[in-house]
Structure 1
Amino acid sequence: MPKLTKIIVDKAEPRDRQYTVWCSDLKGFGVFVLPTGTRTYFVDYRNANNVRRRMKLGRYGTITAEQARTLAIQALAEVTKGNDPLEARNSVRKAISVKELCELYIAELEAGRILGKGGRPKKASTKITDLGRINRHIIPLLGRKRATHVTKADVTAMMKDIMAGKTRTNEKTKKLRGKSIVRGGLGAASRTVGLLGGIFSYARDELGIIEINPAHGVRKPKDAVRKRRLNEEEYRTLGRILAKAAEDERYARTVDIIRLLAMSGCRRGEIIEVRKAEIDTIESAFRFEDTKEGQSVRPMGLPIAEYFDERDMDGDSPYVFPGERNPDGPFGSFPRHWEKIFAETELADLTAHVLRHSFASIANDLGFTEITIAALLGHASGSITSRYVHTLDAALVMAADTVSGYIQALLDGAVLSHSHYALDRGSRKAALARFLSPQPDSAHPPEAVERLAA
């Protein structure tokens, strides 16, 4: 047993089962290593009743080996006085309120130690959303209760209060002309219960102050399914609205962004905050560094590739759409412009998500499969789709060209007809013959092409 140092802990490789590395220099001090690679410092001792106790001191990476050693020495010193340091710590923790628990969770969140999708630290945008739900819903409704006294019934009551709009508020923020509008509702209630479950999991797994998570098993309301999509006439209406808005030079950039959203199916933030380095018109791809799904490679339809080819990308800003007052940041006037463009129009209820949903619906109308549509949208929840979107093949780019081109034509006022790919042999042979038809300078005679098609 060597003296427990950073070098020793670094070398402790994970195995199939949890194991312990003890310190030769300080009896009872050690680190256990989980199969996941997580390493946690602890100290073992026997209390005045000769009961063996194990007190966690902190995770490797959160505290250093020397800091853990100091905590272990302090704990063992308390034992020699007849005290039980673990019991004392638990007594303090068990007395904390939900508000105090949330504050501990927020500190971990800000330090990047709360993990989200794929085991990655939660994104900045997710942190902001979590903080809003904690401060606007959880603390006002449950903050005064002891964390150990919260029951499943308490969580259910909180959820129903949020659904009923009890925490509804509308107040100014520190931003210029900024507002914080909290409406509550089904979606907010369901997602807040999910977040509270994560906070109580932290209280159980990291702090050890509860044994059962009171948010688990709470029946959450189904979020309202957003079925709104644009039909073809509405796309033409959208095109007319945008053409009129573009006559005002102030809205030209916003109009471009809206058209790109419609033709790409991207999320609003992905286009507004797209960086020049993420645009690859040679391979016809968006190469997003950081999205809701992490890194994402997405096919770019030909109308979008041509737009970026024609756009001046030589400015100093890293963003395709830089801020008007701060070119080092992304364009910030989009929400205000959107509101003015669509106010008192036939599409006053339009949202960026509706454009994304409509893109997927058009792709479905044109006969593309769910897995292709998922790849076009950047969904990476399934293993097949995850593999599919790392590199782009010609079929996926063709799909993006088809959907983007179709929507572009609708925005420009065209009346189109579409059909699914014909699966009868005659139609397929005809399509293949057209694909293989020689160019004027081709060395292949027409007879060879006919044989290939046959």
Structure 2
Amino acid sequence: MPRVKLTKTIVAGAQPGETDIELRDTLVPGFFCKVTPTGRKVFMLQYRTNSGKRRKPSLGLFGELTVEQARTLAQDLLADVRRGNDPSGQKARDRQAPTVKDLCKRFMEDHCIPHNKPLTQKKNQYHIDKYLLPSMGTLKVHEVERADILALMKRLEKTPTQANRILACVRKMFNLAELWGYRPDGTNPCRHVTKFPEKGKTRLLTDKEMILLFRQLEKTEEEEFEHPSPILGIRLQFEGRTGFWKYPPKLR
């Protein structure tokens, strides 16, 4: 393994051999250029972590990087190592980190299916397939930011009720991501993302519901549990009408 000051001339003129050749730099410890038998020239850095693990990450190809650029990268990585970090190991861990697609799969299998009703399961899976996977499925879980959630909500602003249901699903999903160790505690990207305002819902009472309602009113009147004014108000709202009932927003 010859040791030389790596320059453009030295690297460009290096000839391949039967096995890999490593041209070691005399300026930066551990920095070298590997010449493969096929003539490929790769800048690399060799270092040991504080725990003694040996790392040998590649920095880039000669031609894509100049010698000076590769040397600067090597110096930056070594400075990071001296601070107690392991940049190559962290890069490998990042590659293996779960994606949002992985999180969605575990959310359905480990939480939604065991704890939710079939209709809720179906809705959550629809939200995942229709909105989450197309927009952020390939992102690493730890990379998702509040801006990603806000962008999703922006796309759904014309359907506020649906947007709020999706937000609730995603918020729960990222709470579990913290529990499962996919993200640090307290980093849920849905935090401070507000729901859209929703209007009160209106629907028709069924005949069965009307019968139950008036039976209860009659029972209440007979037993005098309530002042007659509220009961009269309810009767006036329904008697002689077609049976509309508007849920107050706080009771929905």
TM-score normalised over the length of structure 2 = 0.46
TM-score normalised over the length of structure 1 = 0.27
